[in-house]
Structure 1
Amino acid sequence: MSSTTRRILAPLFTFLLFLVAWQVISWGLKVPVYLLPSPLDIWNGGMRLGPTIFSNSLETLTTILIGFALSCAVGIPLGVLVSVNRVTSEAIYPLIVFLNAIPIVAIAPILVVIFGTDITARLIIVTLIAFFPIMVATASGILDTPEEMLDLARVAGASPLTEILTVRLPHAVAFIFGGLRIGVTVAVVGAVVAEFVNANKGLGFLVTSSTAQFAIPTAMACVVMLAIISVLLYESVNLVHRVFFGWSIRREAGH
């Protein structure tokens, strides 16, 4: 068996074993559905939603992807800025840390009041929660650039901008993708939190409306869909890294 096949089958077998054990325990202990629905109950709850769960999944996915793109557009340049300029770092970094320390659940209702109930507030929430790990990873990668590489670029007459684009950023690629993997998963959390307080559609909205009606299997089906979206997005970032920036993976492995 190849390593790729084993890497796929091993977690799949573990997951199936977990589902079977969960189903058997639910049957054996006769746990009420409203306390712990079995996998079959959750499946049936999802089937009752029908196409609704897919249209709401698309709504949530749209919020995640746009918010994540904004997080990258903000986080990567900020990471470069705070790592190459000490004055900028001392001026901006404390404010960024302060903003990241604010619980997003606490600030979400305030953003709804300020920006209204359209997608704007949801995108701001996703961006706020996802850009920080991207920024920190970018800054870490930039600062990790070996001094001998920088010296060589300077001897060759590279300008500060050329040094960033041709030496520092390529070296930081593996770090940046580490931040992107974290960022895309917390973007899912941000989208759900935003939909809890500011939406009439989306998986977060379905979870709150289902639990309000004590339709726990339906709510759990939405949670499972969120988990699937999160895993697919995480693996998509991994795929982009391997396909387009595989050289950075090989370089890190060589170290």
Structure 2
Amino acid sequence: MDVKKLHEVIFEADTPMGKLFDVILLIAILLSVGLVMLKSVPEIGLKFATSLRIAEYVFTALFTIEYVLRVICVKKKMKYIFSFYGIVDLLSILPTFLELLLPGVGSMRVIRIFRLLRVLRVLKLVGFLKEAGVLRTALWASRRKILVFMGTVMVLVTIMGTMVYLVEDSAAGFTSIPRSIYWAIVTVTTVGYGDIAPVTVLGQTLASIIMLIGYAIIAVPTGIIGAEIMKATNTNTQACSNCNYDTHEDGAGYCNRCGEVL
């Protein structure tokens, strides 16, 4: 199998072989994460120690082969190695190799920490879902609007928190402007811890206004992101062999990011 075909199988979930590869890898990841969970149960970890260790070596070998193949079939190898998923791939196989290289120190705290890093394999599940890619694209496309919206909200809670501080007595818990802003944030997000609350009529009126604004605030980012999701649904998961960007419009002939032929 040539490198181009290998890249198609490993990185492109729209092809039959790519779908099969993702399903197999998905099952392996779920089983390996389940293995980590089972080993954390003292009774199971002691009773089936040998079987669990053998299974761990099998999964480590499988993920090591997958990691090496991914490095081989990408053009910019260092970019993949230091990418988010490249680091996740490496961290998912590193603990077992560390235990093999450092026998007898499996009970050390640092080794236990490295063991728990295997749970990071579950982060790779997000990459297998087209819907996850659509959501990621929608969030990135709406980032400026969301930032402006969040800035507006911060200004709002600062003003409302300051106003409540001016009208409420410190005995009610509004001892400073920062604490009053904290109350405004808790109120506008409809969390409502109840640790501090206004007691005056004017303070309660301001609280009612903030509560109503809070419900409206929830709807705004939903509409912004929803509109971007509608745009992002008309894409496929064909990955660029040059930069690994995997969100292109259906029928696209060139990569949206680097211009490479798809």
Normalised to the residue count of structure 1, the TM-score between the two structures is 0.24
Query: RCO greater where, 1 or 2, for CA within 8 Å and sep 6 or more?
Result: 1
Larger Rg: 2
Normalised to the residue count of structure 2, the TM-score between the two structures is 0.24
Higher helix fraction: Structure 1 or Structure 2? 1
